[in-house]
Amino acid sequence: MRRTIAGLDVHTSHDDLAGRDVLLWYHGSPQTGAILPPVRAAADAHGLAVVSVARPAYAGSPRRAGRTVADVAVGLRPVLERSGAASVISVGASGGGPHALASAWAMPELVRAVITFASPAPFTNDDAWFAGMQAPGGLRAAAEGEASRRRFAETDVFDPEQFVDADFAALEGEWAPLGVDAGAAGADGPDGLIDDDLAFTRPWGFALAEVSASVLLVQGGRDRVIPSWHARMLEVALPHATLDLHPDDGHVSVLRHLGASLDR
């Protein structure tokens, strides 16, 4: 079910969330916010309803210039509170990871656990932050400001070397809907991805030390988009974090562990 709530394009797997445990899905960059079939399947298997929200400037959510990572979570808090959800597992893939962490900070009474897949760590304002990234051009441009990031978008093309063989296998199999959805998001224009990159390279608006929920950091050891040292940095900074490293996985294939991660 798709509806507009608090100015955001919200997708839910169930009409009534009252009393239900919820998987709050934060999509990657770029995505439309639609509930992907493998996400729905994993949630159904664990008795969870799904809430997925298109961040501002994606799909039907209007742009909010200058948004921070924290802003998105704060905006969602009244939506989930009014829904009557019993509890939330906040899950973020890639660019959704920082937002999943922010929800635990913004809604400590609701979010009982966080799971991130290939999440970036907070920007360190130095070149080392980009180490191991195959194609960091967009993030490098974002670190220089919005004008620079927009200029980069005019010539940006996808570099297939970002993905390893396991990623392409995932995109040809269970996670094929992710690739289709990313294409749809890209067709809507670059604003969502630009604003995500800007938010990642600015202060996030909250401190990782203030995240009280348990956090599972699921990471592929072969990831060329967000290298594994970002997960290690998050593990050190978060009070209750566990790193779940999968040496043979890349940026997309690591998502195959979603169901197992919900078991933990």
The letter for the amino acid at 245 is L
| Cα 33 from Cα 116, distance rounded (Å) | 16
Q: What is the pLDDT of residue 50?
A: 98
What DSSP element (H or E) covers 44?
helix 37-45
Token pair 């999943």: residue? 100
What are the pLDDT digits (tens) for 101-115? 999 999 999 999 999
- Determine if the peptide bond prior to 30 is cis (ω within 30°): yes
Locate the domains of the chain by residue range: 2-263
Length of the chain: 264
Identify the segments of the chain with pLDDT beneath 50. Answer: none
First to last CA, the chain: 28
Question: How many C-alpha atoms does 195 have within 13 Å on its Cβ side?
Answer: 22
- Report DSSP letters for 161-202, one per residue: GGS-HHHHHHHHTTTHHHHHHHHHHHHT-SHHHHHHHHHHTS
Q: ∠ at Cα 197 (193, 202), nearest 5°?
A: 150
Q: Residues 84, 18: contact at Cβ < 8 Å?
A: yes
CATH no. of 2-263: 3.40.50.1820
| Cα 229 from Cα 233, distance rounded (Å) | 6
What are the pLDDT digits (tens) for 42-77? 999 999 999 999 999 999 899 999 999 999 999 999
Q: What is the pLDDT of residue 264?
A: 87
